[in-house]
Amino acid sequence: MRIVTWNVNSVRSFRGRFKSVLDSFDADIVCLQETKLNRNGLEEEFAVPEGYDAFYAFSDSVSGYSGVATFASRTRSKFAVPLRGEAGLLGSLGAEMTFHESDGFTEEELVTMDMEGRVMVTDHGPFLLINVYVPSTGSLERFDFKLRFCLALQRRIEAMRAAGRKVVLVGDLNISYLKIDHCAPEKEVRDVTGWYTHPARHWLRSMLRVGGGHLEDAFRVLHPTELHAFTCWSQKTSARETNYGVRIDHILVDEHLVEALADSAILSEITGSDHCPVRVELREVSWSDRPMECRPSPPGCAKYLPELGRKRQLSLARFVVPGQKEIGQKRPKPPTGMPLKTPEKSLMAESSMPALY
C-alpha cells in the first residue's frame, strides 16, 4: 500500500486538473493538508474525483483556512477505501479520547480545536489513519494552542492503541524534531544542546519509540542519516532553490507496522506548494482479507455532504426553465430594462500563519 501526504497550500491551485494530480502519485491513499476549502465552497471536482472516495475536515472558524482531506483509491488496494471516515479529535472512530485529570481540557477548548478542521480519521481495517495539520506558531497564544492540540492528539492516539488498534499518523506536524532536519539548527536555539528541550520537539520525540512512545518515523527508519532531506521551504526568500529548508511533514507508523515498512521517500521534485509530498509504502503482510468488489462509499465520505447535494440541485436547476422540457435550452432574455441577476461569488479568505519549527 502506498500512502502520500502533502501540504498543498490551497487545493484550488489544482482546479481543472485535480484528478490528474491524484493519479500522478500512483497511490492508494493521498492525504492533503491546508486545503483551504469550506463546506459551501466545495466543488464537485474536489469532492468526488473519479475513482476516489474523499473525506474532508473543514475549518468552521475561518473561511478558506486550514482544512485536511484524505482521498482513497477505489481501484487499488482493497484496504485503501476505509470502513468509515470521521473528522476531528472528538470523534469515536477507533476509540474515544480519554484524558488524564491533570490535562485540564474543557469541552469548549476541544470544540475550538476541531473548529479549525485539522484532523481526519479513517479506518482501513489493519490500521487507523490520522491525517493531521498541526497548528503553526505565530504568537505566544498560538504556541500554547499548538501544544494543547498536540496533547489532545496524543490522548486520542493513546486511546486508539489501548483499544488494540494500530495507528498511522501523517501530515504537516509543523515540527522539525531532529537537528539534521533543520537547515540551521544553531539559529533556532542559542544553545544547540537544548534542542530537544523545546516543548514541541520534546512532545514529538516522546511519541516515538526513541523517546518512549509507540510510533516510528518512517523516513528515518529507512534513511537514518540522510542530510538535507527537507519538505518545506520559505517562498519569500526562494529558499527551495538552495534547499534551505526544514523537514516538518512526517509519516509516523505504529511500532507493530514497522515490519511492513517497504519504502519511504521525500518527493522534493514535485512543486506547486511551499511543501513537497512525502510517501510511504507498506507491505500488506498478515492483513486479514477483506472483500473489495462493489463496496459502497463509506460513511463520512464527501459525496454524502448535504451542501454538495444542494449545489448539484442548483446546478441542474440552471438548465431547467418552467414550461421548457429540454434540458440545456437557453433561458428567455429578461424584458428591456430589467437587470439580469447573476449569482454572487463566494470569496474565501486565504490566511496563513508564520511557522516556528
Q: Which residues are the active-site residues? A: 133, 172, 275
For residue 177, which of 233, 235, 250, 243 has the smallest C-alpha distance? 250
Q: What angle do CA 292, 295, 296 make, to 5 degrees?
A: 155
- Whole-angstrom distance, CA of residue 279 vs CA of residue 25: 9
List of residues 6+ apart from 222 with CB closer than 8 A: 261, 263, 264
- Is the alpha carbon torsion for 221, 222, 223, 229 positive or negative? negative
HEC readout, the chain: CEEEEEECCCHHHHCCCHHHHHHHCCCCEEEEECCCCCCCCCCHHHHCCCCEEEEEECCCCCCCCCCEEEEEECCCCCCCCCCEEEECCCCCCCCCCCCCHHHCCCHHHHHHHHCCCCEEEEECCCCEEEEEECCCCCCHHHHHHHHHHHHHHHHHHHHHHHCCCCEEEEEECCCCCCHHHECCHHHHCCCHHHHHHCHHHHHHHHHEHHHCCCEEEHHHHHCCCCCCCCCEECCCCCHHHHCCEECCEEEEEEHHHHHHEEEEEECCCCCCCCECCEEEEECCCCCCCCCCCCCCCCCCCHHHCHHHHHHHHHHHHCCCCCCCCCCCCCCCCCCCCCCCCCCCCCCCCCCCCCCCC
